[in-house]
Amino acid sequence: MRIEEEEEEKESQLLLSQLESSIKQLEHFSSTPNTNTNTNTICSHLRQSLTHLTQLGPFSSHLNLHLWKLSYRLWNACVDLSNASSILRSSSSSSSSSHDLAKLRHIAADILSLAGQVSGVPSPAIKSASFFYKTGLIWHDLHHFDLASTCFERATDLLSNLNLHLPDADHTKLLLDLNLARSRTAWELSDLNLAVAMLSRSRSLLHGSPVPDHYGSLANQYLAFGKSLLSKKNETTEALKLMKEALDLCEKVPNLGELRWKTLRFISAVHLQKGEFESVIKCVRVLRQSGDEKNQHPSLPVMAVKAWLGLGRFGEAEKELRGMVVNTGIPEGVWLSAVEAYFEAAGGTAGAETAKGLFLGLLGRCHVSAGAAVRVAHRVVGGEGSKARAKVVAELVSDDRVVVLFTGEAVAKERMAMHAVLWNCAAEFFRSKDYATSAEMFEKSMLYIPYDIENKILRAKGFRVLCLCHLGLSQLDRALEYINEAEKLEPNIACAFLKFKIYLQKKDHDGAICQIQAMMNSLNFTTDFISLSAHEAVACHALPVAVAALSNLLNFYTPGKSMPTTEIVVLRTLVTILTQEPGNELEVVKFIKRAHNRASELGSDLFFGKGEVGGRERNWFAVTSWNLGIRTVKEGNYELCAEFLRLASEFYCVPVNGQVEENNAMVWKLLILTVSAMIASEKQRKAKLSESEVNEAVKLLDKAGKILKSISTGTRLNDDQITTLEPDLFFIYTFSAYDIKGRLNDLASQQLLVKSFASSKACNSKYLLQIGLIASQAPRSNHEVATFALNECLSSLLSSSSPDYQNVALILRKLIAVASIHKGDIDDDAVYGMYKQAYQIMVGLKEGEYPTEEGKWLAMTAWNRAALPVRLGQTEMAKKWMNIGMELAKRTPGMETYTACMEDFVDCFRKKFHVQNNGENMPQLVV
C-alpha cells in the first residue's frame, strides 16, 4: 500500500513537471512576442497532462498549492499573450489565436478547480468560479456558446456549494453577472425558457440590494431581449412582457430615470407594432410630461404621428408633423420617416399637398439635404401614378429653393437620383398615353440636368422625349422646337427620324422626303430607319413619302450584303403602294421591270426565293402585271397595257427551283394580247409603229407561234387540242400576225395565216368577214386574202340554216368591189359571176328577206355596167349586163318603175340591134 502511494506521488510529480514545462514555454512566448508560438501544441500537451493528473487525485496540500500556483501562472501567461495579440496578429510568424488562448484559459480554470481547497487561500471556490466565468465570457465572444455554457455551469456549481448566510457584495455581483451571462448564452442557443428563468433567478439576488447598477444591469438585459424579440414576427407579446419587467425594475430605483424613459419608448414602439394606438398615445404623453428635454426623443413625434394615423385622426397627425417642422432639434431622417408614414396612410392628393407644404416649411427653418428632397418626391410620386400627385411633385421640384439644394458637384448623386425619379414617373405616364402629364414631368426632370458638356447628351435625350410627348398631343410646332434643340446638342439619326414624323403629321411630304435624305447622311444610319419611315408613311397615308423611302432603300441592295428585308419584298410593297392610286402606272412599270431585271441578274432562286415562297413571289408579279394590263386597257391606255402584258408573259417564263411551270397557254394568251395592244396603241397615239416596235412584235408573234406548235404537238391546226384554246384569242393571234406581216409586205405569209385559220375549228364566218374586210381595205390590202376570206365567209353563211343576208349582201358587194378593182375588164366574167350568184341567192327569198338597198345596188350597178358596151357597140355584152340588172331589179321590192324603164330601153335597144343587123348604122345610146 505504501509503495502504491509513493508511485502515485512520483507520477503526480512527473505530470506536474510536464504542466510546469509547458507553462514555462508559454511564459517565454509571452515575454518575447516576436517568437513563433505554437500554442495549439502546448494546449494539447497541457490538456493531456491534466487529464492524466485528474485520475490520480485527491492530492496532498503541497500538490494542491502547486496546482494553484501553476493555474495562476498559466492564466497570467494567457493575459500577457492576449495583451500582445495585436502585435502577434500583425506578425506573419505568429501562430497563436484567440481560440487557442481561450482553450488555455479553460485549462487554467480546470487546474484551479482540480486544486480545490488550499489552506491559506481565502475563498478559493469564488476565485475558481471567477476563472470559469471569465473563460465563459471569452467563449461567448468567440460564438462557442456550448463551451461558454459549460464554463458558466461549472462556475454556478462552485458558487452554489458555498454556504454563505450573508454573502458579500462581490459574491452577489459575481453571482448576478454569472446568471446574466448564462441567460445571454441560453438566448443565443435559442433556449428562451432558460434565458428568462435565469433573469427571474437574478431578481431574487436584488432583494435588499441597494446598488442601482445591479437593477440597471438586469433591466438592460430584459430590455435587450425585448428589443431582440421586437424585430421578429409574432413575438410582440413576449417582447412587451420583457420590456415591462425592465420598466418595473427601473421604477424601483430612483437613479435609473434615463433607462426608464428609454424602456418606455420601446414599450411604445411595441404597442405601435401591435396596432395598440391608444397605448402609444398614452406612452408618448407620459414621456412628454417628464419635463426633461433630454427625454424628448425625436422618435416620439414619429410614433405619435403613426398612432394618430392608425386611429384615423389625420388632423392630429398633421399637427404633430407641423410641430416637428417648428422643432429644430428633430433630425431630418426622423422628420422624413414621419412624413412618409403620413403620406402612406393619408395618400391621395391631400396627402401629397400636405407633404409638399411640410417639406417647403422645413426648408424655411433649417438646412435640408438634397437626399431628403429625393425621398419626398419619390414617396409622393410613387405607387399609383396619380395625375394629381404628379402635379404636386412637379410644383415641389420646380420650387427654386428645392432646385438650389441640388447645385454643385457634392450633390451630383442626389441630382441624378431626382432626375431618375422624375424621368421614371414621366415614362409611366407616357406608357399610359397621358402625354400632357408626361411632358410636364419630363420638363421638370430637365431642371436636374446640369448645363455642361458631360450632360449634353442627357439633355438632348430629354428634348427628344419631349418631342415625342408633343407629337402624341399633336402639338407639332412645339415638337419641332424641341427636336431642333436636341439636334443642336446631339445631331443623330433619331433627331432626323423624329423630324420626319413631324413633317408626316403636318402633311409636308417634301419636308418628310428631305428628312429621309438627312437620315441617310447621318453617321449612325442603318437601313432599319428607312424601313420604319416607310411603315410610318403608309400609316399616315403619305404614299409619295413611302415610295421615296422604299426607292432609297433599294439603292442599298448589293450582292453579298445582308439586309433585314429582302429586295423582292421591297419591290412588291412599292408596286402595291403605287397601284392604290391612279396615275402611277409609269412608276409601276419601272419597278416591275426592275424586279424582272434583278431576277435575271441574280437568278430567280436568289431573288424570288426557293420552294413555294419563290413560286408565290413570281406569280404575284405575273398576276399583278396581268391585272394592271387589264386595268389600263379598260382605261384606253393601250401602250401601257402592252408593256404590262409583255412583262406578265416574261414573269411566267421565269424558272423557279430550276424548272419552268407549265404556263404555255397563259403565256401564249399574253403574247397575243401584247401585240394586239401594240397595234391598238398605234391608232390611239396617231403614230405608226416604229421599226423596232414592229420587230419586237414579230419576235413576240414568233414566240407565240412556237408555243402554239408545242401545244398542238405537231398536229394540224384543226386538231381538237387547238380548239381548247379560246377561239377569240386564236382569231386575235391570226388578225395581229396578219397585220404585222402586212407591214413587212409579206403577202404570202398573210395568205398562209388566213388559210390556216380558216381550216381550224376556231374559225367562223364572223372572224372571216372581219379578215376579209380588213384585207380589202387600203393601204395594205391583199385582194387574194380578201377574196379567199370573203368567199369562205359567204360559203359558211349560205350553209347555215338561217343565213344572215345582211352580211351576205355585204360580202357580195365587197367581192364585186375587189374583183372590179383587181380584175376589171380583163376578167369580166368573174364580176358577172358575182352578180349571177347574187341573183341565184335572191331567187326563192321572201320579199324583204334580202336587204332591199343592197338589191337596188346590185340591180343598178349591173345595169350601169352595160353602158360602156352599149357605147362601144358590144351588143352581146351589153345585153348580158342589161338582162342581169333587169332580173335583179325584178327581185327587189320598190324597183317596179325602174324595171318598166329598163324593159322599154331593152325593147328600143332590140329594135336598134335589128336595124344594125340589116346593114344600117346603129346610133349610140346614152344610158
Q: What is the pLDDT of residue 504?
A: 94
Mean pLDDT of 35-40: 64
Which amino acid, one-letter code, is at 259? L
Give 558 or 923, the one with higher predicted confidence: 558
Give 703 or 90, the one with higher predicted confidence: 703
Distances (CA, A) of 299 to 309, 311, 337, 342, 355: 15, 18, 10, 14, 19
Q: What is the pLDDT of residue 127?
A: 87
Q: What is the pLDDT of residue 413?
A: 93
The answer to which of 100-104, 194-198, 329-333, 634-638 has the lowest mean pLDDT is: 329-333
Mean pLDDT of 188-198: 87
Which amino acid, one-letter code, is at 223? L
Nearest to 765 by CA among 730, 732, 733, 789: 789
Which amino acid, one-letter code, is at 824? G
Are 782 and 754 in contact, with CB atoms under 8 Å apart? Answer: no
pLDDT, one tens digit per residue, over 906-915 is: 888 888 766 4
Report how far Cα 650 is from the mean position of its chain's Cα atoms: 40
Q: How confident is the model at residue 713 (pLDDT cuts 50, 70, 90)?
A: low
Can you give the three-state secondary structure of 787-817, one letter per residue?
Answer: HHHHHHHHHHHHCCCCCCHHHHHHHHHHHHH
The answer to which of 111-120, 588-597, 810-819 has the lowest mean pLDDT is: 111-120
Q: Is the confidence at residue 337, as pLDDT, over 80?
A: no
Q: How confident is the model at residue 326 (pLDDT cuts 50, 70, 90)?
A: low
Are 105 and 55 in contact, with CB atoms under 8 Å apart? Answer: no
* The three grid cell numbers given for residue 564, joined into one nine-digit string: 433585314
Give 669 or 295, the one with higher predicted confidence: 669
pLDDT, one tens digit per residue, over 481-499 is: 999 999 999 999 999 999 9
Extract long-range pairs of 230-234: CB within 8 Å, 24+ residues apart.
Answer: 230/266, 230/269, 230/270, 230/273
Q: Is the confidence at residue 924, as pLDDT, over 70?
A: no
Give 465 or 206, the one with higher predicted confidence: 465
Q: What is the pLDDT of residue 293?
A: 57
The answer to which of 256-265, 646-655, 782-791 has the lowest mean pLDDT is: 256-265
Q: What is the pLDDT of residue 287?
A: 75
Q: What is the pTM of this model?
A: 0.64
Q: Is the confidence at residue 442, as pLDDT, over 90?
A: yes
State how far the Cα of 768 lies from the Cα of 757, in Å rounded to an integer: 9
Q: Is the confidence at residue 724, as pLDDT, over 70?
A: no
Are 460 and 451 in contact, with CB atoms under 8 Å apart? Answer: no
Give 869 or 379, the one with higher predicted confidence: 869
The answer to which of 278-292, 578-592, 859-873 has the lowest mean pLDDT is: 278-292
State how far the Cα of 699 lies from the Cα of 744, in Å rounded to an integer: 13
φ/ψ (deg, to 5) at 763 = -80, 145
Can you give the three-state secondary structure of 366-391, one letter per residue?
Answer: CCCCHHHHHHHHHHHHCCCCCHHHHH
Q: How confident is the model at residue 93 (pLDDT cuts 50, 70, 90)?
A: very low
Are 522 and 492 in contact, with CB atoms under 8 Å apart? Answer: yes
Distances (CA, A) of 563 to 178, 522, 528: 82, 18, 9
Q: What is the pLDDT of residue 547?
A: 93
Q: How confident is the model at residue 641 (pLDDT cuts 50, 70, 90)?
A: very high
Q: What is the pLDDT of residue 286?
A: 78
Angle at 142 between CA 138 and CA 143, to 5 degrees: 115
State how far the Cα of 645 lies from the Cα of 722, in Å rounded to an integer: 22
Q: Is the confidence at residue 406, as pLDDT, over 70?
A: yes
Angle at 94 between CA 92 and CA 98, to 5 degrees: 120
Q: How confident is the model at residue 717 (pLDDT cuts 50, 70, 90)?
A: very low
Angle at 543 between CA 497 and CA 581, to 5 degrees: 180
Q: Is the confidence at residue 116, as pLDDT, over 70?
A: yes
Q: Is the confidence at residue 16, as pLDDT, over 80?
A: no
Q: What is the pLDDT of residue 881?
A: 92
Nearest to 882 by CA among 897, 903, 908: 903
State how far the Cα of 818 lies from the Cα of 814, in Å rounded to an integer: 6
Q: Is the confidence at residue 650, as pLDDT, over 50?
A: yes
Report how far Cα 741 is from the mean position of its chain's Cα atoms: 63
Q: Is the confidence at residue 805, as pLDDT, over 70?
A: yes
Give 475 or 219, the one with higher predicted confidence: 475
Q: How confident is the model at residue 628 (pLDDT cuts 50, 70, 90)?
A: very high
